[in-house]
Amino acid sequence: MSADFHPVIYTISQNVEMASGYFCHNLRRRRSFKSIIPDFTAQGGLGLLERNLDTHDLILPLQPFLDPRTGHALAARQLRFLLLSSSAVAEAQLEATIERIQRFASLTGGKDLAIVFLLASPPPPAQPTAPIIANSFTTAKKLAQQTAQLSADTERGNIDGVVAWTKLQAELTNRSDIPYIPILPLTALCQLPQLVQKHVAALNTPSHPAPKQSVNTFDLLQQCTSNPPMDRQTAYCLSDLFVNMEELAAACTGISSAPQSSSPSARAAARASIEAGSYVQTDGLLDDPLPWTSQNGTSAIGDDGGRMKLKQMRDLVGEKQCIEVVDFWKEEWLI
């Protein structure tokens, strides 16, 4: 690097400033989150500006990475948040929620992204105030009953929120096409600014080591072969053909590349032929309905659907890889 190039880097890095934070104006129409908007805009709070955000709900600035050679700031960083509540994982909304998370993840591939999940139930719609009746009063017993009912409703709402949060985590774990994104549980809406600030501060702390990347579903998929690890091309083909692990398992457990006796010696012979290069032909297995004996009669994709997808996999990745994937699901393996 020439000596006159260093001042250019210095000039650019000195002009890098922390960008403003933003919240999506659509939050004003969401009953679960609209009441927290004043805390977003308050100068003593997050101090966010309002704008149209298509794929997420909040943007907060992060400290830029430093050039290890010069110590100067590189490009600006932003932390994007998606705000969800328990209604997002209701059966009628779950598919749309997963699609939204897919678009969210595609922004950076999972980097500098987070999901905030509100555990508490949204506040009920405002009811008209009842007229005050003269000489009306509430007995201590009735007041205690009302307080207990309110407390029970709040606790039940939080429990339902935990179930919904767990359901979303399970759904995302089962999706190989969505990278890992942390899902931060939020007990009460009023704690949202503090939760967001705490997460930003953790990522901004210089001494904070980069978190070890959690094993995602795609990494797990690459181990689902009798000859691990599976090459990335085969794993990509599998993730395109099968929606999730359950569908792949249902297809593979309905057929076997080993003889129908399924004896240990037969399975060993099938694996030996694979290793020797004289592969067992899967054409007959995939075309003949007799060996297609599903262990789970209620397969989500059906026998024909699973057979067709396995044939597509064989045509895309080859005979050897297809047999290794099918054989993996016929026995127990330590991965």
Residues 92 and 27 in one domain: yes
Same domain, 180 and 258: no
- Is residue 138 situated within a structural domain? no
Average predicted confidence (pLDDT) for the chain: 74
Q: Pick the most confident of 71-80, 101-110, 134-143.
A: 101-110
Percentage of the chain lying above the pLDDT 90 cut: 26
| Same-domain status, 162 and 296 | no
74 and 17 share a domain?
A: yes
The residue out of 204, 226, 245 marking a domain boundary is 204
Question: Do 162 and 230 belong to one domain?
Answer: no
Read off the pLDDT band of 214 (50, 70, 90).
Answer: low
Q: How many domains does the chain have?
A: 2
pTM over 0.85: no
50-66: pLDDT as tens digits: 989 889 999 999 887 77
Residue 5 in any domain: the answer is no
Judge if 314 and 228 occupy the same domain: yes
- Closest C-alpha to 115, from 62, 64, 168, 155: 168
Res. 176: pLDDT tops 90: no
pLDDT at residue number 46: 81
Q: Which residue has the higher pLDDT, 236 or 283?
A: 236
Domain that holds residue 172: 11-122+149-204
The neighbouring-strand residues paired with 23 are 50, 58
Residues 171 and 293 in one domain: no
One domain, residues 102 and 247: no
Is 2 domain-assigned?
A: no
Q: Report yes or no on 17 lying in a domain.
A: yes
In a domain, 3, yes or no: no
**In a shared domain, residues 226 and 166:** no
Considering only 77-91, 100-114, 239-253, 276-290, which range has the smallest mean pLDDT? 276-290
Which CATH number is 39's domain given? 3.40.50.10130
Residue 288 lies in a domain: yes
335 lies in some domain: no
**Domain match, 65 and 98 both:** yes
Please indicate, yes or no, whether residues 184 and 261 belong to a single structural domain of this protein.
no
Residues 79 and 192 occupy one common structural domain: yes
User: Residues 137-161: what's their mean pLDDT?
Assistant: 56
Q: Is residue 209 part of a domain?
A: no
